[in-house]
A and B are shown apart, each in its own frame.
Chain A
């Protein structure tokens, strides 16, 4: 194991900001943030469709605000092939709906309310994520 590119301060700061988003949504609207739930309910359910839509719009304008205020470019690096990304997208969409949550819904909101179900989900997808990367790197 080598430790590389370690950025604990920016990660912690970003995490705290994410925590505040969860807090505000819960305090004012009474809902816990889970992105896969919000996104899939937006296409699959009538109920609270406008709220879900506005939240998703916010997710997309967030980075744009960041660029304008901080005047910084956002770099992302995707090294995967197109086919692999399509398969990954299907797995993420299908898997999060079957299990009822993703990194935010289970990993943050679920663990915050001491849900054993969410803790088990989080440990499972993290372990499988690690194994997947391990296998991919050796192929």
Chain B
């Protein structure tokens, strides 16, 4: 059953990305263009998502365990370090250049658009670089 939930959560998330238009890079770039022709819409995506997820997280985490698994499994990393800041700067630059972040990029594969497919491939190469970097420096 938990496999079905994984699939279902992905589907719902993907539909949310389409309805909110997060999937459209033009919309994202409009949101980031505060000093030009600003489209503040996407702030409402975050407000909408947090309105549901923030209170529900604090209610659900009090449960002994999730419904289909033996235990809760989420990061409790509290490190505020150079990696966090440097990584966020690089991500922000990539987001501003392309107008795509990981979720919308993967969802847009459904549209079989050559550009979004290329973006996703290079994003996965980026993920893999970090794995190589970490295994050589043994930072983790």
Contacts and interface: CB of A to CB of B under 8 A. Distances in A.
Contact of B44 (A15, A29, A52, A59): A15
A7 interface: yes
A104 B17 CA distance: 11
A137 B93 contact: no
A28 B127 CA distance: 27
B124 A59 contact: no
B11 A65 contact: yes
A72 to B, nearest CB: 9
B46 A108 contact: yes
Q: Is the interface of B mostly helix, strand, loop or mixed?
A: helix
B2 interface: yes
A71 interface: no
A6 B38 CA distance: 9
Contact of B71 (A30, A77, A98, A122): A30
B24 A28 contact: no
12 contacts: A15-B20, A54-B3, A62-B11, A63-B110, A66-B18, A75-B24, A80-B97, A84-B97, A86-B118, A87-B94, A88-B98, A112-B53
Contact of B122 (A18, A21, A86): A86
Interface residues of B, number: 114
Interface string A115-130: 1110011101111111
Given A77-B26, A97-B126, A108-B49, A128 B20 contact: no
A12 B50 CA distance: 10
A120 B84 contact: yes
Contact of A99 (B47, B73, B84): B84
Interface in A31-58: 31-33, 35-36, 39-40, 43-44, 50-52, 54-58
Given A14-B20, A15-B47, A16-B52, A102 B11 contact: no
Given A12-B45, A92-B100, A125-B91, A74 B54 contact: no
Interface in A57-95: 57-66, 74-80, 82, 84-95
B110 A62 contact: yes
Contacts of B46: 15, 107-108
B49 A93 contact: no
